[in-house]
Structure 1
Amino acid sequence: MSMFQVDENYTRVSEFVIVGFPSLQLEFFDLVAWFFFFLYVTTVVGNLLLVVVFALKRSLQKPMYIIMVSLALSDIGFTTVTLPKIIARYWWNDGSLGFHTCLFQEHMVHYFGSLNSLILLTMALDRYLAICFPLRYPTVMTNQTMAGLTLFCWVVAHIFPGISTVNFTMMPFCGPNQILHAFCDTMSLTPLVCGDPSQQFSAAFAAAMFILYVPLAFIFLSYICIIISVLSMASGQGRMKTFSTCATQGCIISIYYVPRFFVYSTPFFPNLTMTPDKRIATTLFYSLFPPLINPFIYCLRTKEIKQIFRRWVQRRRNITPTKHGQIVTVTKPH
């Protein structure tokens, strides 16, 4: 039974309106729209390129790359769910979303957030097994095992967002419909509920903390084990290489988790105050920056992917068109 007693005579809002940055001046709308458009295209193209390379190269069909492709697909999904509407808001002043469309966006925003948290946990588990148990890793972490873990993440990530979305469908929205955010999510929808939404917000906060920080605890523990194992390595070069890889993933994890804590915790700590513009900017930073840089970081730091791109560039250089339009393959002398 819902904690809200809904009056049968109330009028439910039929649509919500994405406001975006409340203090943004009209003359900057086009600039912001172009910025988000460039961000969207770059993110989708970069992650899609990673997926295509994985699909075409059998040498990359290994557990580590299955995780990377899963993360890339999740990042494509998140940016596709969130960015087109905020781009339309600033390009054509079209920020309206139907009631159920907004709830669908709210569900998918939290779904992909939960999914990324579980994928990062799987990635940390993979690195832990590869570094701490290198001899057993090939038999324990097979492609089938990693595919099963990935599928598990994609299914389980629906649980908490699904509960939140079902709760919102039973709540009365009978007044304001202006969403002070770049997309629909729990924090932006809760203040629009008619009545006292504190219990709903507390439940949503507890669910978010669980799905985000329980995996973070396991990630943190796995990296402690990795550091201990790396310090025992005899090769200094091996230690540096492993630390470098872990440091890169650690930076991505920090960007993903730390700002989220401050945004979600602000209502519970009087000393933590954020203006709507700062809250939106912080949310967009931790939501959109990792998907943007993930494919470039993993491509530049993965030896096999770098070799594939290097061979592709070399083949392009060796094929030169003549003035008659014919293609000539240039073979370098041995």
Structure 2
Amino acid sequence: MDNQTVHFEFELTGFPGVSQNFYILTSFLLFIMYNIMFITNGAVFIVILLKEKLHKPMYLLIANLAFSAFLFDTATLPKMIGKYWLDGGKISSLACFVQMHLVHWLAIMDSLILTLMAFDRYIAICNPLRYSSTITYKLTMYACSSMWFCSDIILIDTIIIAQYPFCGSNKVVSFYCSSSNILRLACANVTSTREVLSTVGLVVLFGTLALIILSYVAILLSVLSLKHWSGWRKAFHTCVTHLFVNALFYVPRVFVYQASYLKLVLSPDLAVFLIVLQSYLPHLANPFIYCLRTEEIKNIISSTLKEMLNWKHN
């Protein structure tokens, strides 16, 4: 360590291949994307929180998903917008580790919420008579609170990584700080830490995915046994929405893990694009999916907007 410089700040590269001539355009697009996600996820969360009519288990899960997306986007995107707008890609080590913790915590939280949503749909479709007594609003609230608390155990990995010395290059080839990118910059043997974190990530990703797949296989078998077309159509309508949301979240992540396992060499820009795809596409799409496919939320938001317009007009 005698001739090595220990860095107390990192630099987020964003898309490494983007020319400086396109920085303003890139920052503008990110700014628009962030504002859409900020407004839509914030609106979904607030509407479900304030409207007593929406105080139901499934809507509570949607509210938690929207709030998680809201926190994730706010913790990551403004810094990247500043990088392209003001050439402010540098981030202090403390801010980087805080961001890394939030990124992993909220990603785990999203996977747990999606798993709980799949279980909720399984009970609603396969055991509809027991649904109201099994899945209550209070039980769902306790489950969500427990998930927020338990998933925060990932703080341990941030504390461990923060103990390593960092030297040489301080460039984080990503939109935000994450354990995989930060460990590459450590001036120490991080093999054991990387293996432990990879194992945890695989267990969370493929464990929750397996539970979701099992839930929807059971739902499919139950739906196929329905004799009435109306019941089949309603169940199909609900499942397609949730399967699409799950596909947006899991498909890019599974591809990234498979590429890593097969040791495929991805270009830096493609790697960052996949990070953006898996991180922000679900947050951008989910509010529109739930608002357009869920009649109660759509009607309440429409009536609220009409009331606001009428109040403004008067």
Is the structural similarity TM-score above 0.5?
yes
| TM-score normalised by length of structure 1 | 0.89
Q: Spell out the pairing of 1:90-105 with structure 2 (5 A cutoff).
A: 90-105=84-99
* 2:41 equivalent in structure 1: 47
CA contact (8 A) 2:180 2:194 kept: yes
Alpha-carbon RMSD across the aligned residues, in angstroms, is: 1.9
Judge conservation of contact 2:10–2:90 (CA < 8 Å) in 1. Answer: yes
Per the TM alignment, residue 127 of structure 1 is displaced from its structure 2 partner at its CA by 0.8
Unaligned runs of 5+ in 2: none
What is residue 210 of structure 2 aligned with on the other side? 217
- Alpha-carbon distance in structure 2 between the residues aligned to 1:319 and 1:85: 37
Gaps of 5+ in 1: 1-6, 322-326, 328-334
Look up the equivalent residue of 1:102 and give its one-letter code. Answer: C
Structure 1 residue corresponding to 2:296, chosen from 297, 304, 313: 304
User: Whose Rg is larger?
Assistant: 1
Structure with greater proportional helix content = 2
Q: Which residue of 1 aligns with 2:266?
A: 274
Matches within 5 A, 1:142-181: 142-159=136-153, 161-181=154-174
Kept in 2: contact 1:205–1:264 (CA 8 A): no
Find the partner of 1:115 among 98, 109, 119. 109
> Please, which moves more after superposition, 171-180 or 216-225?
171-180
Is the CA contact (8 Å cut-off) linking 2:174 and 2:275 kept in structure 1?
Answer: no
1:83 pairs with 61, 77, 80, which one?
77
3-state SS of the aligned residue for 1:291? helix
Conservation of the 8 A alpha-carbon contact between 2:4 and 2:168:
no
Secondary structure, counterpart of 2:198 in structure 1:
helix
Aligned to 1:332: none
**Aligned to 1:258, which of 251, 254, 258?**
251
CA-to-aligned-CA distance 1:131-177 (integer Å, 9 cap, x gap):
11111111111111000110111111112x32221211221212211
Distance 1:145 1:198, change over 3 A: same
Range that drifts further, 287-296 or 258-267: 258-267
**CA distance, structure 1, for counterparts of residue 247 and residue 25 of structure 2:** 29
Q: Which letter does structure 2 place at the counterpart of 1:88?
A: G
Aligned residues: 314
Change beyond 3 A, Cα 1:200–1:313 = closer
Could you say which residue in structure 2 is the equivalent of 1:188? 181
| Distance (whole Å) between structure 1 residues aligned to residue 247 and residue 310 of structure 2 | 43
Task: Rate the CA distance shift 1:317–1:190 in 2: closer, same or farther, 3 A.
Answer: closer
Cα distance in 2 for residues equivalent to 1:259 and 1:68: 21
Match of 2:194 among 167, 191, 201: 201
Q: 1:219-234 alignment to 2 at 5 Å?
A: 219-234=212-227
Q: Structure 1 residues 229 and 16, CA, compared in 2 at 3 Å: closer, same or farther?
A: same
- Structure 2: which amino acid aligns with 1:284? V
> Percent identity of the aligned residues?
36
Distance in 2 between residues matched to 1:274 and 1:197, nearest whole Å: 22
Tell whether the 8 Å contact from 1:10 to 1:174 is kept in structure 2 after alignment: yes
**1:240-255 equivalences in 2 (<5 Å):** 240-255=233-248
By how many angstroms is 1:305 displaced? 1.6
Letter in 2 for 1:280: V
> What does residue 287 of structure 1 align with?
279
**Alpha-carbon offset, residue 11 of structure 1:** 4.7
